[in-house]
Amino acid sequence: MTTAASASNEPVGPVDSSRIPRYAGPATFARLPRLDEVGGRADVAVVGVPFDSGVSYRPGARFGGNAIREASRLLRPYNPAQDASPFALAQVADAGDIAANPFNINEAVETVEAAADDLLASGARMMTLGGDHTIALPLLRSVAKKHGPVALLHFDAHLDTWDTYFGAEYTHGTPFRRAVEEGILDTSALSHVGTRGPLYGKKDLDDDEKMGFGIVTSADVMRRGVDEVADQLRQRIGDRPLYISIDIDVLDPAHAPGTGTPEAGGLTSRELLEILRGLASCNLVSADVVEVAPAYDHAEITCVAASHTAYELTTIMSRQIAAGRQGQ
């Protein structure tokens, strides 16, 4: 690994796996340097949020971020699908975890928002590893402070636009209703991808449509194919600042058993990765991968899928950062 003390302006990259075995050393994302090892500044900050107090069924996503980091030891520095070496194009660093109060959801939401504000103020884009989907709301609040209302692509088996659970406004099933109510989303450019499964009633869909969301179901992806779906999403998003939020349960349980609320009939990991690659021209300002619950995982299937998902998103951001510098 290039050292942070190097006089070169080149990004500090991952540990050299030809010299230090992949199973040795601390498990930062993709074996990248910690944020403090690059002077506290990065173009893309990979940050964990070990919080799952907003779940409505199976807990365990508080352990997701570190499990994704462990699985990411197998990632390599060149991404052939995007023909890019993301860690050479931009400084990507692991910013550690945001420690949030597990007993007070409101306080936790405020803590995540404040920490995200600090990372974005440093000039970084965020690649967040959850944690449950509650954390998307404070992350979106922070991103909207910098970019204004943002476009949103929400990959998930579920809508996550319900109103409350047991009277609680902040849960993993409500973040995007709150985000619409708060005016931090561009309601002309919102879409769910991969939704499926039973709902509480047709009103769920009616309410969701009123908020501005379009829906691409998992069956749509199967019937129409990833290229057509990616093209539709690109047209909907245009050049708006884009936030991508990925609940790993968008994948079929065969590809992601390690999650709290699995639903049959989901995307394959290949379909998810190919759709993301088809969005490489979009203005991706930050992203998250959430709801990875390793206690229910089998042979790290879910964690591996999540690590590759975060890798594709990081590659998109790194390529855009490098292109922006060349255009200056």
Radius of gyration, alpha carbons of the chain: 18
Q: Using one digit for the tens of pLDDT, what is the confidence trace for 161-206?
A: 999 999 999 999 999 999 999 999 999 999 999 999 999 999 999 9
Contact 293, 64 (CB under 8 A): yes
Question: What is the average pLDDT across 254-269?
Answer: 98
Please tell me the predicted confidence (pLDDT) of residue 9.
Answer: 82
pTM above 0.75, yes or no: yes
User: What kind of architecture, by CATH, is found in domain 29-327?
Assistant: 3-Layer(aba) Sandwich (3.40)
Question: What is the average pLDDT across 17-38?
Answer: 97
Please tell me the predicted confidence (pLDDT) of residue 8.
Answer: 62
Instruction: Output DSSP code: residue 34.
Output: B
Mean pLDDT value across the chain: 96
Q: Annotated binding site for Mn(2+), which residues?
A: 133, 156, 158, 160, 247, 249
27 vs 41: CA distance, rounded Å: 20
Q: Using one digit for the tens of pLDDT, what is the confidence trace for 45-71?
A: 999 999 999 999 999 999 999 999 999
Local confidence band at 3 (pLDDT 50, 70, 90 cut-offs)? very low
Q: Annotated binding site, which residues?
A: 133, 156, 158, 160, 247, 249
Contact 76, 32 (CB under 8 A): no
Instruction: Output DSSP code: residue 27.
Output: -
Please tell me the predicted confidence (pLDDT) of residue 225.
Answer: 98
% the chain with pLDDT above 90: 96
Q: Using one digit for the tens of pLDDT, what is the confidence trace for 127-168?
A: 999 999 999 999 999 999 999 999 999 999 999 999 999 999
Asked if residue 43 has pLDDT above 60, the reply is yes
Q: Using one digit for the tens of pLDDT, what is the confidence trace for 90-134?
A: 999 999 999 999 999 999 999 999 999 999 999 999 999 999 999
Q: How many CB atoms lie within 10 A of CB 183?
A: 11
Please tell me the predicted confidence (pLDDT) of residue 7.
Answer: 45
Q: CA torsion, points 48, 53, 56, 61, in degrees to nearest 10?
A: 30
Q: CA torsion, points 325, 35, 113, 208, in degrees to nearest 10?
A: 60
Asked if residue 318 has pLDDT above 80, the reply is yes
Annotated domain spans of the chain: 29-327
